[in-house]
Amino acid sequence: MAYDQNTLRSRFCHALSEMYKSEVPLYGDLVDVVWKADARTVQNSQDIESDRVIDPDDILPARHRVERHGAIRLGTAHELATIRRMFAVMGMHPVGYYDLSLAGFPMHATAFRPNTKDALDKNPFRVFTTVLRMELLTEKTRKLAQKALEQRNIFTPRLLALLDIAESQGFLTPDQCTEFISSGLETFRWHSKATVTLEEYEQLKAEHPLIADVVSFPSSHINHLTPRTIDIDLVQQLMLYHGMPVKDRIEGPPKRSCSILLRQTSFKALEETVYFRDPSGCYVKGSHTARFGEVEQRGYALTREGRQLYDRILNRVNAGAAKNDLKGKAYDTLLEERFKEFPDSLPELHNLRLGYFIYRLTPLGDQLVNESVVLSEEQLPPVSLQDLLNKHILSYEAITYEDFLPLSAGGIFNSNLGGISQSKQLIMSADPDLDGFQRLLGACVADEFHLYAEMQQKSLEICRQKLQLKEI
């Protein structure tokens, strides 16, 4: 039966992208800017024989023009658990836990994404999915939010039926896949008619604009989509040049020779007309600011040690910036300065175990295997990974980071809240609550570090088998 989760995910992502471009035309312009920036970067790297290595995956048009992520915000356990079932049909599973109270938001999150190298290579689309933490709201707002959320159903009856079918028969027929896409899109569609009154909306918004965004509408509208670029600094410049309302700085690590983790920027959310119910059943006009477009540049995945170093440096930068009220360019200068402490070459990332790597046989390694050359005395086991690398039998390639960063997510959230001031945000002293999140989800979230380590380990195991070594 023709049910390929990777194809279904690609088709869904494409349909979502088309829907979003028609809802938010500026998003279509952003995709064009990204395409232009990447074409220029590729051209430059060829012209000047730059030593910059461009991953062919990044420039192959078909793959490149595919969105890398989107984001939705949910309100209840039922919504989160059902979204989990829906994404599972497309081969997207919850990976990573993000505590957004760190950045002052009453929410936590996971990313639904493909969790194998093969599926990521076929189509890497993922959705950053946040859910409200009701326990962090004031009682009055919690009651209002609960009442509004109880009354909505963000899934069409047909979608719910298709989820049952997919789970019981283990696949969807081609026709069911097509229906799955059209019914599934309804969950993410924008509705300009709110489910709450203007007064209720104002109350939710006064506590936090994100609460209003989650609670006031009949669907969980996609709030942004994000293509990947190979030169985010150029995209930022081009967005400015084209007069887009661009965010004032790029989130994440500074520009480096060895990109690490994730850098992101966005154009700011649009103010859109919304109609609020009034108690007499008529609608009154108002507005809401939520939907935007984002760009990401992905670097290398870091080990726990690498990530601790990243977090430590970033926390120091943020403390320094807060103390001296540094923003924009001044913040970036401090960031660049402090990140000099983070090793910036592949051999250092590798040898200091700061990053994850895929190991492969070199042509010499292949030759040894093909010619069944018995390893010479000095190459005989036990042989260390370092020996095999030194003798050019194995080589390594860094693994791309496929996940998100909570503080960067906070920065993206912040620039899209219609300019509320930091001080108006809730001051949180909440702890992360992974257990609570998993209870709402009805499943466990995978540990992203574990997935990268597994990819690394698998690649080593393949090398070991080919070389017929006892261990590496």
| Residues contacting residue 305 through CB under 8 Å, at least 6 positions apart | 352, 353, 354
Nearest residue to ligand OOG, scored by beta-carbon proximity: 409
Contact 377, 387 (CB under 8 A): no
**101 touching ligand OOG, by CB under 6 A:** no
Count of residues in contact with ligand OOG, rule CB under 6 A? 12
> What is the 8-class DSSP label of residue 155?
S
Binding residues for ligand OOG restricted to 220-239, rule: CB under 6 A: 223
Residue 408, helix vs strand vs coil:
helix
CB-nearer residue toward ligand OOG: 180 or 310:
310
**294 touching Ni ion, by CB under 5 A:** yes
Please count the other Cβ atoms lying within 10 Å of the Cβ belonging to residue 462. 14
Shortest distance (Å) from residue 67 CB to ligand OOG: 12
289 burial type by CB count under 10 A (0-12 exposed, 13-18 middle, 19+ buried): buried
**415 touching ligand OOG, by CB under 6 A:** no
**404 touching ligand OOG, by CB under 6 A:** yes
For the window 192-231, what string marks contact with Ni ion as x by the rule CB under 5 A? ----------------------------------x-----
Residue 413 interacts, among Ni ion, ligand OOG, none and using kind-specific CB cut-offs from 5 to 8 Å, with ligand OOG
**408 touching ligand OOG, by CB under 6 A:** yes
Contact 109, 131 (CB under 8 A): yes
* Residues constituting the chain: 472
Residue from 41, 110, 141, 264 that binds ligand OOG (CB under 6 A)? 264
Shortest distance (Å) from residue 352 CB to Ni ion: 30
For the window 194-223, what string marks contact with ligand OOG as x by the rule CB under 6 A? -----------------------------x
CB-nearer residue toward ligand OOG: 12 or 359:
12
Q: How far apart are CA 159 and CA 187, in angstroms?
A: 9
| Residues contacting residue 178 through CB under 8 Å, at least 6 positions apart | none
Residue 281, helix vs strand vs coil:
coil
Cα angle: 386, vertex 389, 393; to 5 degrees: 135
From 22-30, 67-75, 133-141, 208-216, give the range in contact with Ni ion by CB under 5 A. Answer: 67-75
- What is the Cβ-side half-sphere exposure of residue 236, based on CA atoms within 13 angstroms? 14
Question: Which residues make up the interface to ligand OOG (CB under 6 A)?
Answer: 71, 73, 128, 130, 223, 264, 294, 404, 408-409, 412-413
